[in-house]
């Protein structure tokens, strides 16, 4: 199954954009589309379709020299049984690119995500689901198991694009064009209540709306166009306002708090300047529970929390290893480090270091540890970092992954370094999109005596 990588069209080759092909749709692929082939054997990555369908696919990207072509299913000639009418009026070919699976029954969405995970594990790590300790299911978050045609309102952070007339919308797929909307169905109630779509935003390039789930904190982060002045922000709920500075790319407080308060695992976490926090309201607790069940921290143990953000996993582990234990967190975002130190100030056994994991970890002088949790960015941890982690001889490692391809690549590296996957769990924390979250628990391979 081809992997979703970008393709650079030839300058002189004839564009195929706009051409239409009648195709039989094959398996789902990583990236929110399915694979099909034209009669001439050209590979198409087709959105807005399902495996087994017969469709008219209209090319959206590619030319005669492209290794593959991107396309939208613009007419469905033979629908699959898992197809539903998209609930969102802004979904469909050439429309909003925020969701991939609006046209798919919820249970089938999770099944397709499971197929993608299984394919990536096999292709990139040589693992079957059984070898990965995975039952093949993708679990819905609590409250998200809804009938076909209903959409969970889960997204607590929405980045609205602003068009040249100052109206809010969302980007079209792989485009800078803005699809105006008056309501995002997957936006959490706290975001929807702000009413960003109802007003004009002159001079703004984007407006991010944040609705904390651990408190009533609401925040908007404004990104002005070059030289533009900030508008007077009057929304439907009390809200703090931040702005992205065009010169230093920093985020600065305009009025209200510079942070929102989130809550997970019985602790409150400050998240400043629009910093990273899991988007689904159930995600933080779901992932902490999966990680702690997999690691089973013991009193007095030492642990590393890599790419630690504002300290979510570091705090959870520190509570469990007790006063005789020790936890080191490493995070590259300066503001997140400040927040993590604030959030875990009551736990003197926790230390947070600022910098990139691949640079800071070797400087710590740490040669061994009991536990490791890593939640790397979408690109994964990479071979050198995996090699360093394996040398620390942790009894268990928890790998939290938002991209199954990166996870599979890193699991292959861990295997080379003597670690095997004990269990893997997958969670549908991004309904209606192709994204999925996984937690893999690794342990050293037992050597024969």
Annotated active-site positions, please?
402
User: Are the C-beta atoms of 57 and 80 separated by less than 8 Å?
Assistant: no
d(CA 299, CA 30): 40
Pairing between strand 396-401 and 419-428? Answer: unpaired
Angle at 317 (CA atoms; ends 312, 320), nearest 5 degrees: 135
Residue 270's closest CA among 312, 328, 330? Answer: 312
Rounded Cα distance between 131 and 414, Å, is 14
- Strand stretches in 282-358, DSSP E: 302-306, 326-331, 350-354
Element (H, E) at 371: strand 371-374
Quick one: which of 407, 392, 403 has its CA closest to 440?
407
Q: In 10 A of CB 203, how many CB atoms?
A: 16
User: For residues 211, 216, 217 and 223, what is the CA-based torsion angle, rounded to 10 degrees?
Assistant: 30
3-state helix, strand, coil in the chain (%, to 5): 20, 30, 50
How far lies 257's CA from each of 172, 207, 217, 340, in Å? Answer: 32, 17, 9, 17
Sheet containing strand 178-180, edge to edge, reads 178-180, 168-171, 157-162, 204-211, 218-224, 240-244, 251-255
Hey, which residues does 272 pair with through a beta bridge? 259
Q: What is the DSSP string of 120-146?
A: HIIIII---TTTTT--S-EEEPTT---
Say if residues 354 and 339 touch (Cβ distance below 8 Å).
no
Name beta bridge partners: 261. 270
> Would you give the distance in Å from CA 233 to the centre of its chain?
29
Closest CA to 94 of 113, 116, 72: 72
Pairing of strands 157-162, 54-61: unpaired
Q: Nearest to residue 423, comparing CAs of 445, 438, 404, 406?
A: 438
């Amino acid at each position: 199954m081809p992997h979703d990588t970008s393709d650079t069209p030839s300058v002189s080759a004839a564009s195929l954009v706009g051409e239409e092909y009648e195709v039989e749709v094959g398996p789902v692929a990583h990236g929110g589309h399915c694979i099909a082939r034209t009669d001439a054997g050209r590979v198409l990555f087709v959105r807005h379709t399902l495996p087994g369908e017969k469709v008219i696919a209209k090319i959206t990207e590619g030319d005669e020299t492209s290794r593959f072509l991107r396309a939208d299913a613009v007419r469905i000639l033979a629908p699959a049984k898992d197809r539903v009418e998209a609930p969102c009026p802004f979904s469909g070919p050439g429309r909003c690119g925020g969701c991939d699976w609006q046209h798919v029954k919820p249970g089938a969405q999770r099944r397709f995500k499971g197929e993608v995970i299984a394919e990536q594990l096999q292709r990139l790590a040589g693992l079957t689901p059984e070898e990965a300790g995975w039952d093949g299911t993708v679990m819905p978050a609590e409250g998200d198991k809804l009938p076909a045609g209903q959409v969970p309102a889960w997204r607590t952070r929405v980045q609205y694009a602003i068009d040249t007339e100052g109206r809010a919308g969302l980007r079209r797929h792989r485009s800078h064009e803005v699809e105006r909307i008056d309501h995002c169905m997957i936006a959490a109630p706290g975001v929807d209540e702000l009413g960003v779509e109802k007003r004009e935003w002159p001079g703004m390039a984007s407006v991010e709306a944040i609705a904390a789930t651990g408190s009533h904190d609401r925040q908007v982060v404004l990104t002005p166009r070059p030289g533009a002045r900030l508008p007077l922000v009057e929304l439907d709920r009390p809200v703090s306002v931040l702005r992205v500075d065009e010169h230093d790319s920093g985020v600065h407080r305009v009025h209200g708090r510079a942070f929102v308060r989130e809550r997970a695992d019985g602790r409150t976490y400050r998240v400043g300047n629009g910093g990273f926090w899991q988007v689904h309201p159930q995600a933080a607790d779901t992932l902490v529970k999966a990680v702690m069940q997999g690691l089973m921290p013991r009193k007095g143990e030492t642990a590393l929390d890599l790419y630690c953000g504002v300290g979510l996993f570091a705090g959870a582990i520190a509570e469990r290893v007790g006063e005789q234990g020790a936890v080191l967190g490493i995070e590259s975002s300066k503001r997140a480090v400040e927040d993590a130190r604030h959030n875990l100030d009551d736990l003197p056994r926790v230390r947070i270091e600022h910098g990139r994991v691949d640079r800071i970890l070797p400087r710590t002088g740490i040669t061994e540890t009991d536990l490791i949790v890593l939640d790397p960015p979408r690109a994964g941890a990479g071979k050198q970092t995996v090699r360093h982690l394996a040398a620390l001889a942790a009894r268990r490692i928890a790998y939290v992954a938002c991209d199954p391809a990166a996870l599979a690549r890193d699991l292959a590296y861990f295997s080379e370094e003597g670690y095997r996957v004990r269990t893997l769990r997958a969670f549908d924390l991004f309904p209606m999109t192709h994204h999925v979250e996984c937690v893999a628990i690794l342990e050293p391979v037992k050597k024969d005596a």
